[in-house]
Amino acid sequence: MIAVVTGASTGIGAATAKLLVKSGHTVIGIARDGEKLAALARALGDRFHAHACDVTDSAAFGALLRQCADDHARVDLLVNNAGTAKVMSIGETTPEEMRAMSELNAIAPATAVNALWSTMTRHGDARIVNVSSLAQLDPFPGFFAYASSKAALHLQTVVANAEGEPHGVRAFTLAPGVVDTPLHRSLMPDGIAPVDGLSSSLTPSDVAKVIVDVANGKHDARAGWVLAMPAPAAVAAVRRWVIEHPGGGVEILS
Domain that holds residue 48: 2-252
Q: Rounded mean pLDDT of the chain? A: 90
pLDDT digits (tens, 9 = 90+) for 233-252: 566 666 676 676 776 788 88
Q: How far is CA 98 from CA 7, 132, 145, 150, 240, in A?
A: 20, 17, 5, 12, 30
Which of 48, 61, 117, 146 is catalytic? The answer is 146
Q: Which of 90-94, 186-190, 225-229 is predicted least confidently?
A: 186-190
pLDDT at 13 over 70: yes
Q: Each residue of 36-57: b (16+ CB within 10 Å) or e?
A: bbeebbeebeebbbbbbbebbe
Per-residue pLDDT, averaged over 153-170, amounts to 98
pLDDT digits (tens, 9 = 90+) for 88-126: 999 999 999 999 999 999 999 999 999 999 999 999 999
Predicted local confidence at residue 23, as pLDDT: 96
Side by side, the strands of the sheet bearing 126-131 are 48-52, 26-31, 2-6, 77-80, 126-131, 169-176, 226-229, 250-252
Per-residue pLDDT, averaged over 10-23, amounts to 97
Number of structural domains (the chain) is 1
DSSP 177-203: S-B-SHHHHHHSPTTS-SSSSGGG-B-
Per-residue pLDDT, averaged over 5-23, amounts to 97
- Return all residues near 250 (Cβ < 8 A) that are at least 6 apart: 137, 225, 226, 228, 241, 242
- Find the CATH number of the domain harbouring 86: 3.40.50.720
Separation of CA 28 from chain center: 15
Residue among 74, 48, 65, 29 at smallest CA distance from 168:
74
pLDDT digits (tens, 9 = 90+) for 66-77: 999 999 999 999
The reply to whether 146 belongs to the active site is: yes
CA distance 37 to 131: 20
* Bridge partner list, 50: 29
Q: What is the reported pTM?
A: 0.89
